[in-house]
Amino acid sequence: MRDLVSVGLLAVASTVAVAAAGWADGRPAARQYVREGGSWMQVDPDGSRYEIDPRVITVKFREGVSRASQQALHASLGAVELRRAITGFADVEVAAGQDVFAAIDAYLASGLVEIAEPNTFGRYQIEPDDPMYPSQWHLPKVMAPEAWDSVTGDPLAIIAVLDSGTEFTHEDLGTGADAYQNIWLNDGEDAWSDPDDPSTGNGVDDDSNGFIDDWKGWDFGNGNNDPSGPFFHGTAVAGVAAAKTHNATGVAGAAGGWNGPGARIMIGGVGDAAPNGAVLDDAILYAGAMGAHVIQLSLAVGQSAAIDAAVQAARDVYDMSVICSSGNGGQDMVSYPASNPDVMAIGATTQDDLKADFSNHGPDLEISAPGVDIVTTDTGDGYTTTGGTSFSSPLVSGVVALMLATVPNLSNEAIRQILKDTADKVGGYDYNWNPAMPGHSFELGYGRLNAENAIAGALVIFTDGFESGDVSSWSSSAP
């Protein structure tokens, strides 16, 4: 079962949609307002979210309303006019303890006011300072910087990278000069005396999970507690999902945090040079038992009843999202285990938002994401440019980690639906080729990943722990 507590935004399911046409009734059109953790947030049409100022609204009186009548209205409502622009808009401090929307309704109800609206606290938009970020075209393509305006990653969200192993000492994944890491540590196991040397454990299965000294994960292919792996693949996959971001080092990851811990990478080695189907089910079940929220698979193996059973347990027992690359054969069917209906199959796109030639596709494809010329982490504390559906799928896993950092209780099914609903319909493909699958294309699935839209979808559509309020006059089109 998922055990995840967000230290970021507390999402609220009370959504207020403003559907007024233009400015006809004095309220701005096409905005939404959500109540989160005791504060109101404004959601603009592009999905941008801003905290609403709880003390100051802006009003514009109708032409011909005398100054005396304006002052009398302010006084009757316990408000104070702070300043007035030459355009006629006045900033007004509302009465102490009054909800901003109640104040807006009061001004509009007076008949003296043409426009009344809330104000927001914005942000200065910056890009991460990772030196190689300008070469990481895939992140702005999926609107990751816009998503980072809301959430940058949370160490309580755990991505299990089941691959060739991940170099846990890499400066942009493990503890580097910045003195923090995005590598998952097993809190039930005693730390190694040398944090970089798996052989320095105490030789005891401290948490009685059947794996001795699995402080930084487990190498299922070799049956030991050193999941670093000799092959670059797993390290590169991990970097796409959660390389440390805005730490003045290397590259940025989708859910890498912001000069502080982001999503954590739980390492599971499932074969050095090639994935071993015999241990893949064990790695999936380990990830579930140890608290992972996302299973990242950038691999293909032969169909297996044991793997199918593990995937079913990931869904039914642990409610984990299982995300897998669709395969690189250019075929019109996805490979296994991406073809398992409980797995999200992810294809690859180019910088022009077209299906990559090598990307497997077809009716089982869920969505696609950039998978060509991807700059990411490499073994030897290095960096590489690579490609394949192996590197489009961890981009989706990173965005799922962002969604969970925003709304911790999202179910796997809710996540899948949001990703499908918020993907961009790019490439000029036929997204209605199959009437039984409206919105799906044969080439890209339901579209190309959009991180900003996925976060907005998680907040606005599938939020938990809502706070109620009297928003009747603002909620005629609320979902």
248 φ/ψ sector (left φ>0, alpha ψ -120 to 50, else beta): left
Tell how strand 344-349 and strand 367-370 pair up: parallel
Phi and psi torsions of 113, nearest 5°: -110, 135
User: Is the CA virtual torsion 50, 53, 57, 58 positive or negative?
Assistant: negative
Count CB atoms within 10 A of the CB of residue 341.
10
Task: Return the amino acid letter for 74.
Answer: H
Q: Which residues are catalytic?
A: 163, 233, 390
Residue with tokens 């942009």: 172
Tokens of 148: 């980072």
Residue 413 CB: number of other CB atoms within 10 A? 12
Q: 319: left (phi > 0), else alpha (psi -120 to 50), else beta?
A: left
How far apart CA 127 and CA 84 sit, in angstroms, is: 35
Specify the DSSP element, H or E, that contains 348.
strand 344-349
The answer to whether 52 and 39 are in contact (CB under 8 A) is yes
Which amino acid would we find at residue 314? A
DSSP string, 35-96: EETTEEEEE-TTS-EEEEEEEEEEEEEPTT--HHHHHHHHHHTT-EEEEE-TTSEEEEEPPT
Helix, strand, or coil (residue 382): strand
Report DSSP state, residue 445.
Answer: B
